[in-house]
Amino acid sequence: MPLRDGRLSHDIDPTDRAPQDACGVFGVWVPADQAARAEVSKLTYYGLYALQHRGQESAGIAVSDGSRIVVFKDMGLVAQVFDESVLNTLRGHIAVGHCRYSTTGSPTWENAQPTFRSTDAGGLALVHNGNLINTQELAARLEPGVLTATSDTEVLTALLADQGEGGPLAAAREILPATRGAYSLVFMDEGTLYAARDPEGVRPLVLGALEDRGWVVASETAGLDIVGARFVREIEPGEMVAIDGAGVRSERFAEARPKGCLFEYVYLARPDTTIAGRSVQATRVEVGRRLAREHPVEADMVIPTPESGTPAAIGYAEASGIPYGQGLVKNSYVGRTFIQPSQTIRQLGIRLKLNPLREAIEGRRLVVVDDSIVRGNTQRAIVAMLRDAGAAEVHVRISSPPVSWPCFYGIDFATRAELIAGHLSVEEIRDSIGADSLGYISLDELISASHIAKDRLCRACFDGEYPIPVDENARGKHLLEVTR
């Protein structure tokens, strides 16, 4: 998607991008007497920088100084939207921040977050990771013309702002039990930081402590690490917390029914993040070991598709005894801040992102490890490129089961018709991408590597079993735009 400065917010070919997570969320509270030193806007900036992988369309920060809330947001990456001069104008002791990839609602400035609403007592700013599946039902509670954007987050914000005398907590107690889908929320009024997580806990959300009595809430533990916060615990499914001068207060608005997203371990989360007490990096390496045992092959070298396939490739090499090596070099900047390519340049395809090390792969039998296959275009191009560079054999190994079903809880996958595993067998996929062999990790082995019980995980993209039933009419990122 072209930005106003001519750069792109995700991959150079929008028809063949990787699965996109909905968003990264971040919140920070420090005592008012620490505001000048803590610089919460800059803490939030760094937190969002650590969470940039979760959303690359827009970014925003809201800050409260105790009497008013100021919001700054725009389209683009965190480093494009904010600079020193902007951050210096955002002064206060409470902040929430967001980096977005759209699931419900188009990628427009109006749908960028934080969303803000005036209330009887002041203001409310909110950020959201996930996707609601009863957005239209919730929107029907609002008066016509109230919505100024077309995202599910806008609907939630409008409902929470219509709070009367009870404040955000009272409104949340009423609204959240009626809200279905995935939502990790961080929101604030002028004096308090709040966080809430859906009863299934589909998307991660963690609480951390700063020195000098400060608190941080973030999508991933990597967001805590970058600001020097100590991990305290996860926000529990069905839990809401409030943070102010009295400390952290917790209450439940729904019974916990844990269904954490298994795909977070496969691709979405940073490898240096911990989810449910399990290191993402350790999980991915262990998946690679199990993949080698499930799908062995005689080969000369194991190479990853960088960077997403690297941990599993390390594990595959360890378990198989086949040497690990680098066969593909990635241009780290493509797909992040990249000038709009012409059609002629786009025809070079994958070479804009990856280039083979010919001397390392020529004449060798290769095992190429990647995290997933969505449409198959990227793997097809990689296999062809490796053969052109002289590879004797190309064996593809995937550290997730076939992605056969779309996600309605915060990942923007292709539709089932567009997913290659939605209509082709493994052997047909192997033939389509041109590999000598193709092996996927089994669902049972992936679950076992996560160290989480099967019944506490959402596996819908792999097995089609949706833990929160989704009505056909509630599916689609533009559903509110149709009725406006």
Residues labelled as active-site residues: 23
Per-residue b/e over 471-482, b at no fewer than 16 CB within 10 Å? Answer: eeebeebebbbe
Question: Smallest Cα–Cα separation from 442: which of 402, 397, 401?
Answer: 401
The tokens for 330 are: 């990635």
Strand spans (E) along 148-258? 181-188, 193-197, 206-209, 215-218, 230-234, 239-244, 247-252
* Helix spans in 162-309 (H): 167-175, 221-225, 263, 280-294
Question: Smallest Cα–Cα separation from 461: which of 376, 398, 404?
Answer: 404
Distance of alpha carbon 275 from alpha carbon 292, whole angstroms: 24
Distance of alpha carbon 272 from alpha carbon 83, whole angstroms: 26
Query: What secondary structure letter does DSSP report for 215?
Result: E
The tokens for 376 are: 């198959």
**Cβ proximity of 98 and 184 under 8 Å:** no
Distance of alpha carbon 219 from alpha carbon 447, whole angstroms: 22
- Phi first, then psi, for residue 427 (nearest 5°) are -65, -35
Hunting for tokens 């106003």 — which residue is that? 4
